[in-house]
């Protein structure tokens, strides 16, 4: 087995904990994974610059000295910052707000600017930065290299992997359609970018010279072994770590991952305006006819945020985005260090 990934990242085992956005990441989880010899990660896409600065400080204090950790951001798609909700977008969700006793939002505030986020992150200097949804700008890659920060980019197709390598990232994550959470397709429409992990990995390994991480549909040591056999240098595991004791997933989300409903997942735009794989719940069924009409990310994501938070607080799975990959039934609600050991 090649050790070029472990040497590059400074880790003992070729296992990366997937970063979770939307408040599901936890400093404790990232620190535990890094301390156990993997690469702990934190999804910071939702955080403003000052919070990103503080986050890196927290991670640096929690992770044992000298061990790496990873912070993840989303590369914005052209034009998404200018999107605004219509009256119909508010009205579509009014019944759900009323059921939960929430006021219907009267306005819309765009999320933090990527340029401000990445400037804060680069200044804070985490050992590793990962990206999803596109190729990071050249000035970001150049500055990361100048600061000695390792960069990871996420591809859902071979062409995206090649584009990321040409863009200068150090490692490509080959994320198959089995993976839970948001799909990161950025060169072609989603329908043309749904390649299963174990079809994607060997093709990406053949197409690029940089190390390859396999992601999606991997939750136990059998999946790790298969990915390495197919040419991956390591694996990134999301759902399996989301189910561990240290993750910040809500109790209702954890219960769903451990139950029979985790056997059925779908790609849906309803929670964020961008396709993501989730366990089917009542909201997905009730709004099924609106899949193609809800506004794009980040508008739908912002409108749904109060509903998701209220559902989680009430332990009501109806309104919660139950992100899960297709291998979710193979995950186990263990302490993260024990889960990592089972993979090794």
- Taking only the tens place, the pLDDT of each residue in 212-242 is 999 999 999 999 999 999 999 999 999 999 9
* pLDDT confidence band for 87 (50 / 70 / 90): very high
Average pLDDT over residues 321-333: 96
Q: Is the predicted pLDDT of residue 110 greater than 80, yes or no?
A: yes
Enumerate the β-bridge partners of residue 155: 174
> Whole-angstrom Cα distance, residue 300 to residue 292?
12
pLDDT single digits (tens) 115-135? 999 999 999 999 999 999 999
Instruction: Fill in the DSSP letter of residue 36.
Output: T
Rg (CA), the chain: 19
Which residues does 135 contact at the CB level (< 8 Å), separation at least 6? 75, 153, 163, 164, 167, 169, 186
Average pLDDT over residues 273-288: 97
Which residues does 204 contact at the CB level (< 8 Å), separation at least 6? 155, 158, 161, 172, 174, 212, 231
3-state secondary structure of 50: helix
> What share of the chain in percent tops pLDDT 90?
98
Average pLDDT over residues 42-50: 97
Of the CA atoms within 13 Å of residue 322, those in its CB half-sphere come to 29
pLDDT single digits (tens) 139-186? 999 999 999 999 999 999 999 999 999 999 999 999 999 999 999 999
Burial class (CB in 10 A: 0-12, 13-18, 19+), 88: exposed
* pLDDT confidence band for 106 (50 / 70 / 90): confident
CATH code of residue 335: 3.20.20.70
Mean of all residue pLDDT scores within the chain? 96
Q: Report the pLDDT value the prediction gives residue 2, as an integer from 0 to 100.
A: 82
Pick from 117, 99, 77, 108: nearest CA to 283:
99
Q: Report the pLDDT value the prediction gives residue 22, as an integer from 0 to 100.
A: 85
Q: Is the predicted pLDDT of residue 36 greater than 80, yes or no?
A: yes
Helix axes 336-343, 27-35, angle to 10 degrees: 40
Q: Report the pLDDT value the prediction gives residue 40, as an integer from 0 to 100.
A: 98
pLDDT single digits (tens) 283-307? 999 999 999 999 999 999 999 999 9
Answer whether 112's CB lies under 8 Å from 168's CB.
no
Distances (CA, A) of 305 to 49, 58, 172: 20, 25, 30
Domain ranges, residue 271: 4-343
Tokens 């990161």 sit on residue? 184
H or E segment and range at residue 130: strand 128-132
Q: How many CB atoms lie within 10 A of CB 308?
A: 19
At residue 201, φ and ψ (nearest 5 deg) are: -60, -50
pLDDT single digits (tens) 10-33? 999 999 999 998 889 999 999 999
Average pLDDT over residues 310-337: 95
Distances (CA, A) of 11 to 15, 20, 128, 243, 338: 9, 20, 12, 22, 17
Q: What is the dihedral of CA 265, 266, 271, 272, to 10 degrees?
A: 120
Omega before residue 60 within 30° of 0, cis: no
Distances (CA, A) of 245 to 161, 309, 317, 336, 343: 33, 20, 19, 6, 16
Counting the structural domains of the chain, the total is 1
Say how many residues make up the chain: 344
């Amino acid at each position: 087995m090649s050790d070029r990934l472990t040497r590059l990242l400074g880790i003992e085992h070729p296992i990366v904990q997937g970063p979770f956005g939307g408040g599901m990441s936890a400093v404790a989880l990232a620190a535990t994974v890094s301390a156990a010899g993997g690469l702990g990660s934190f999804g910071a896409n939702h955080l403003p610059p000052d919070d990103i600065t503080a986050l890196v400080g927290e991670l640096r204090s929690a992770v044992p000295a000298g061990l790496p950790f990873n912070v993840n951001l989303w590369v914005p798609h052209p034009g998404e910052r200018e999107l605004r909700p219509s009256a119909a977008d508010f009205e579509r969700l009014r019944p759900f707000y009323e059921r939960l006793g929430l006021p219907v939002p009267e306005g819309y505030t765009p999320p933090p600017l990527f340029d401000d986020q990445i400037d804060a992150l680069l200044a804070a200097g985490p050992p590793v930065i990962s990206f999803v949804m596109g190729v990071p700008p050249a000035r970001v890659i150049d500055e990361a290299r100048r600061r000695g920060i390792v960069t990871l980019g996420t591809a859902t197709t071979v062409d995206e992997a090649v584009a990321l390598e040409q863009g200068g990232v150090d490692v490509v994550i080959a994320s198959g359609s089995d993976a839970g959470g948001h799909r990161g397709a950025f060169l072609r429409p989603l329908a043309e970018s749904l390649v299963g992990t174990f079809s994607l990995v060997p093709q990406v390994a053949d197409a690029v010279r940089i190390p390859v991480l396999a992601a999606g549909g991997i939750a136990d040591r059998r999946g790790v072994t298969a990915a390495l056999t197919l040419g991956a240098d390591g694996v990134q595991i999301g759902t399996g770590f989301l189910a561990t004791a240290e993750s910040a997933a809500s109790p209702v989300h954890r219960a769903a991952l451990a139950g029979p409903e985790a056997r059925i997942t779908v790609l849906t735009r309803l929670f964020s305006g961008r396709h993501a794989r989730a366990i089917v719940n009542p909201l997905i069924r009730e709004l099924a006819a609106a899949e193609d009409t809800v506004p794009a990310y980040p508008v739908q994501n912002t409108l749904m945020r109060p509903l998701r938070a209220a559902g989680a607080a009430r332990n009501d799975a109806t309104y919660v985005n139950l992100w899960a990959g297709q291998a979710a039934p193979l995950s186990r609600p263990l302490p993260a260090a024990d889960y990592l050991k089972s993979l090794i």
